[in-house]
C-alpha cells in the first residue's frame, strides 16, 4: 500500500515507522529479522531500507602496487525489502539513490521493484563516497534527486528510456523525498534548498521524510513554511536518540544539525553511555510527545539497525 494511503487510513493517529540498514557484506539477513521481530509490536505500516553506494578499498599486490577496488559494504536493499514484505506483511520502502547507477540501471532497478510489488520509493541523491569530498555523479546517471525523481515520475506515466510510451505499462510508485528542517549542508541558504524541495513536490513527490533534528521547533517552523508555500504533502519527522557522548560532535558534523544547549549540557555531564542513553531517550520521548500533539503523521526512527534505544522510546508512546 502507498504510504499516503497508510496515513489517510490512520485518520489523524500518529503512526510509527523505522529505517533499517542492510547488514554489512558477509553478515546474514538474520540481524534484519531479529530487528523486525523486536519492532513488530509497534505495528509499523512501513519499514525503510537504506541504500549504500560503493566505496573504494585499496588492495596491495605482491609487487607493492595498490589496486583500487570499488566495493559496496552494505548490498542487498531490494532483497531485504522483498524479504520483509514476504515474512512480515509490512510495506518496505527501498531508498533509491543517484550515485552508482546509470539511468539504464535505475530503470532496471525500478522494474525489479515494480515486479516485486513494492509501492513506495524514497528518492535521494545519495551521500558522497568515502574519500570523495563531494558527491560525484556516476557517468550516465543522475546528479540530483530531482533528476532521479523525473525518471520515476516518467515511468509512472509509462515513459521508459527507450520504449514506446503507447506500448508501455505505467508504474504506480508513491515517491518520497528528503527534506531538511535545518538546511542541506551544501545549499548556500535555507531558501535555496527549500526551493529545490518545492520543485521535488511539484514534480510528483507525495511525501517528505526529514533529516533528524533535536529541536521540535525546527520541524514546526519547517512544516509551517511548507504549508505557507503550497507544499501540502505529509512531512514525516526523522528521529534518532542520542546514545553516545561522541555524537555531540559527529551528528552535527555529518548531518549538519544543531543540538540544543540544554541537551548537549545534559549529555556532557553524563558519566557513562548508559546515562547518555537515558538522557537522549528522555529528550526524544518529549520531542515525540510534542510532535504527536502537533499532528505529525508518522514518527520515523533511524534505528541504525540497533532497535534497543528506539524500542524503549516507542514503548512510552505506543
Ligand atoms: P538533493 O535533493 O539532490 O539535494 C542535494 C543538494 O543540491 C541540496 O543542497 C539541494 O539544495 C541542491 N539541489 C537539489 N536539487 C537541485 C538541482 N536540480 N539543481 C541544483 N541544486 C539542487 N544517503 C544514502 O546514500 N543512502 C540512503 O539510503 C539515504 N537515506 C536518507 C534518508 C533520509 C530521510 C535523508 C534525509 C537522507 C538520506 N540520505 C541517504 C542522505 C542523502 O543522500 C544526503 O543528504 C544527500 O547529500 C542529499 O540527498 P537529497 O536527496 O536531499 O539531494
* Protein residue with its CA nearest to atom 49 in ligand 1: 125
CATH number of the domain where residue 269 is located: 3.20.20.220
* Protein residue with its CA nearest to atom 10 in ligand 1: 193
Q: Which residues line ligand 1 (CB under 6 A)?
A: 50-51, 53, 95, 97, 124-127, 144-146, 178, 184, 186-187, 192-193, 196, 209, 211, 238
Predicted local distance difference test score (pLDDT) of residue 57 = 86
48 DSSP β-pair partners: 19, 93
For residue 238, which atom of ligand 1 is closest to its CA?
34
- Give dist(CA 82, CA 94) in Å, integer: 10
Query: Within 13 Å and on the Cβ side, how many CA atoms surround 27?
Result: 15
How far is ligand 1, taken at its centre, from the CA of residue 178, in Å? 6
Query: Within 13 Å and on the Cβ side, how many CA atoms surround 135?
Result: 17
Contacts 24+ apart (CB under 8 A), 244-250: 244/273, 244/276, 245/270, 245/273, 245/276
Residues 173 and 131: beta-carbon distance below 8 Å: no
- Give dist(CA 172, CA 177) in Å, integer: 16
| pTM of the complete model | 0.97
Total domains in the chain come to 1
For residue 195, which atom of ligand 1 is closest to its CA?
11
Predicted local distance difference test score (pLDDT) of residue 70 = 85
Predicted local distance difference test score (pLDDT) of residue 131 = 82
* Residue 41: domain span: 3-315
How far is ligand 1, taken at its centre, from the CA of residue 187, in Å? 10
Predicted local distance difference test score (pLDDT) of residue 204 = 98
How far is ligand 1, taken at its centre, from the CA of residue 37, in Å? 30
Under-50 pLDDT residues of the chain? none
Contacts 24+ apart (CB under 8 A), 6-12: 6/45, 6/46, 6/91, 6/298, 7/207, 7/234, 7/297, 7/298, 10/45, 10/297, 12/295
Report the greatest alpha carbon distance in the chain. 66
* Protein residue with its CA nearest to atom 28 in ligand 1: 50
For residue 193, which atom of ligand 1 is closest to its CA?
11
How far is ligand 1, taken at its centre, from the CA of residue 156, in Å? 22
Q: In a mutational test of the pocket of ligand 1, which residue from 98, 178, 190, 239 has the highest number of ligand atoms less than 8 Å from its CB? A: 178
Which residue, among 73, 71, 84, has the nearest Cα to 20 in the 3D structure?
84
For residue 145, which atom of ligand 1 is closest to its CA?
3
Instruction: Say which residues have a Cβ less than 8 Å from residue 76's Cβ, sequence separation at least 6.
Output: 22, 23, 29
How far is ligand 1, taken at its centre, from the CA of residue 61, in Å? 37
- Give dist(CA 269, CA 291) in Å, integer: 27
How far is ligand 1, taken at its centre, from the CA of residue 164, in Å? 31
- Give dist(CA 175, CA 206) in Å, integer: 6
- For residue 245, give Cα distances in angstroms to 195, 266, 306, 313: 35, 10, 17, 19
Amino acid at each position: 500500500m502507498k504510504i499516503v494511503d497508510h496515513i489517510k487510513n490512520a485518520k489523524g493517529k500518529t503512526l510509527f515507522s523505522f529505517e533499517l540498514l542492510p547488514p554489512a557484506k558477509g553478515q546474514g539477513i538474520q540481524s534484519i529479522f531479529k530487528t523486525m521481530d523486536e519492532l513488530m509490536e509497534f505495528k509499523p505500516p512501513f519499514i525503510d531500507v537504506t541504500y549504500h553506494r560503493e566505496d573504494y578499498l585499496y588492495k596491495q599486490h605482491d609487487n607493492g602496487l595498490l589496486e583500487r577496488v570499488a566495493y559496496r559494504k552494505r548490498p542487498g536493499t531490494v532483497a531485504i525489502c522483498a524479504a520483509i514484505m514476504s515474512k512480515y506483511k509490512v510495506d518496505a520502502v527501498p531508498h533509491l539513490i543517484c550515485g552508482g547507477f546509470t539511468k539504464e540501471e535505475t530503470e532496471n532497478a525500478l522494474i525489479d521493484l515494480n515486479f516485486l510489488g513494492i509501492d513506495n520509493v524514497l528518492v535521494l541523491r545519495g551521500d558522497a563516497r568515502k574519500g570523495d569530498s563531494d558527491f560525484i555523479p556516476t557517468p550516465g546517471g543522475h546528479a540530483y534527486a530531482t533528476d532521479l525523481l523525473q525518471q520515476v515520475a516518467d515511468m509512472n506515466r509509462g515513459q521508459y528510456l527507450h520504449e514506446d510510451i503507447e506500448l508501455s505499462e505505467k508504474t504506480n510508485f508513491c515517491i518520497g523525498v528528503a527534506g531538511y528542517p535545518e538546511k542541506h549542508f551544501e545549499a548556500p541558504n535555507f531558501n535555496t534548498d527549500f526551493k529545490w524541495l518545492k520543485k521535488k513536490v511539484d514534480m510528483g513527490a507525495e511525501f517528505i521524510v526529514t533529516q533528524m533534528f533535536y529541536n521540535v521547533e525546527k520541524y514546526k517552523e519547517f512544516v509551517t513554511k511548507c504549508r505557507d508555500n503550497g507544499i501540502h504533502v505529509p512531512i514525516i519527522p526523522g528521529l534518532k536518540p542520542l546514545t553516545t557522548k561522541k555524537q555531540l560532535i559527529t551528528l552535527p558534523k555529518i548531518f549538519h544539525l544543531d543540538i540544543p544547549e540544554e541537551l548537549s549540557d545534559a549529555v556532557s555531564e553524563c558519566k557513562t553511555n548508559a546515562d547518555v542513553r537515558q538522557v537522549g531517550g528522555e529528550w526524544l520521548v518529549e520531542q515525540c510527545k510534542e510532535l504527536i500533539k502537533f499532528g505529525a503523521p508518522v514518527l520515523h526512527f533511524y534505528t541504525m539497525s540497533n532497535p534497543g534505544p528506539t524500542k524503549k522510546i516507542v514503548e512510552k508512546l505506543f
